[in-house]
C-alpha cells in the first residue's frame, strides 16, 4: 500500500469511485486532511446500514455535488443541488468498484490484512496488524501497509463503526474522522429529492466511460 493508495482514503475522488459501505453503527463525522500543521475540512459523512452520504466542503460555496452510495442496489448517485439534477452510476461501470467495499469495511477488523491482500490493490505490497490503539478517545485496530517501493503508511480501523477513522502516509499527509457521532441518521439524507431531474449522459460519453 503506497503513499498514493493511503491518501485515497481521505480524498473524495476515492469516495466518488463508489465505496461500498456497511456500517456496524449509524454515524456522522467530519472528514479532515492534514499536511504538516495545516488542517483542512474536506467533507461531512453520514452513514446508515448499507448507505453513505458525503457532502464535500466545497458545497458550502455552491460548488461540487453530494454523493450517495447504496450497497443494496450497488449504485452511486451524485446530486447537483445548484441544478436540481442527479447522476446515477452502477458499480460495474467503473474499474474496481466492489473491492473498495471490502477495503473500507473488512469482515474481520482483527484480520483486515487477509482481505486487503486478496484485493491486490498494490501488487508486491505488504500489510501487518500493529495492535489496538486509542484515537481521539475511540478504540481502534492499527495496521501498517508497505508498498513494493518500500513506502510505509498506517490505517486505524474503528472497532465500533468498523471504518477507517485515521490514516497516515509516508510523507506529512494524513487524515482522520473527527466529531464522530453514533446514532440514527435521517432517512432523507440517503434519497434523491423528488424535485431533482436525472441527468442523462450523452451516448458518446457513455461509450468513453465503458472503455475506461
What does the DSSP assignment read for 33-57? EEETTEEEEEEEEEEETTEEEEEEG
Q: Tell me phi and psi for residue 102, to 5 degrees.
A: -65, -35
Distance (Å, whole) CA 113 – CA 69: 24
Q: How many CB atoms lie within 10 A of CB 46?
A: 20
- If one compares 152 and 27, the residue with the highest pLDDT of the two is 27
Place 105 in a pLDDT band, splitting at 50, 70 and 90: low
How does pLDDT run across 108-163, given as a tens digit for each residue? 778 888 776 666 555 677 888 999 999 999 999 999 888 778 888 888 989 998 88
Tell me the domain boundaries of the chain: 3-210
Lowest mean pLDDT among 85-89, 135-139, 146-150, 173-177: 146-150
Q: Any residues with CB less than 8 A from the CB of 195 and at least 6 apart, and which?
A: 84
Superfamily of domain 3-210: Lipoprotein localisation LolA/LolB/LppX (2.50.20.10)
How many degrees, rounded to 5, is the angle at CA 157 between CA 149 and CA 31?
Answer: 90
| Strand duo 75-80 + 85-90: pairing | antiparallel
- Measure CA 102 to chain center: 11
Q: What is the pLDDT of residues 52-63, one digit of tens each?
A: 898 988 755 555
Can you tell me the distance from the alpha carbon of 167 to that of 39, in angstroms, rounded to the nearest whole number? 14
Per-residue pLDDT, averaged over 31-42, amounts to 86
Residue 86 has which C-alpha cell? 442527479
Amino acid at each position: 500500500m503506497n503513499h498514493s493508495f493511503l491518501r485515497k482514503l481521505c480524498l473524495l475522488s476515492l469516495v466518488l469511485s463508489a465505496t461500498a459501505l456497511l456500517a456496524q453503527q449509524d454515524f456522522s463525522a467530519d472528514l479532515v486532511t492534514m499536511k504538516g500543521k495545516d488542517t483542512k475540512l474536506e467533507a461531512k459523512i453520514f452513514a446508515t446500514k448499507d448507505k453513505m452520504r458525503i457532502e464535500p466542503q466545497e458545497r458550502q460555496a455552491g460548488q461540487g455535488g453530494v454523493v450517495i452510495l447504496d450497497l443494496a442496489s450497488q449504485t452511486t448517485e451524485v446530486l447537483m443541488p445548484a441544478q436540481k439534477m442527479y447522476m446515477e452510476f452502477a458499480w460495474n461501470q467503473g474499474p474496481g468498484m466492489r473491492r473498495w467495499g471490502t477495503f473500507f469495511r473488512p469482515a474481520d477488523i482483527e484480520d483486515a490484512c487477509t482481505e486487503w491482500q486478496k484485493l491486490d490493490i498494490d501488487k508486491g505490497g505488504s500489510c501487518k496488524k500493529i495492535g489496538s490503539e486509542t484515537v481521539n478517545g475511540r478504540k481502534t485496530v492499527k495496521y501498517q501497509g508497505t508498498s513494493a517501493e518500500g513506502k510505509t503508511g498506517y490505517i486505524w480501523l474503528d472497532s465500533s463503526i468498523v471504518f477507517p477513522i485515521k490514516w497516515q502516509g509516508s510523507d506529512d499527509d494524513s487524515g482522520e474522522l473527527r466529531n464522530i457521532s453514533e446514532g440514527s441518521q435521517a432517512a432523507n439524507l440517503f434519497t434523491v429529492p423528488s424535485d431533482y431531474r436525472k441527468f442523462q449522459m450523452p451516448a458518446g460519453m457513455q461509450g468513453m466511460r465503458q472503455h475506461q
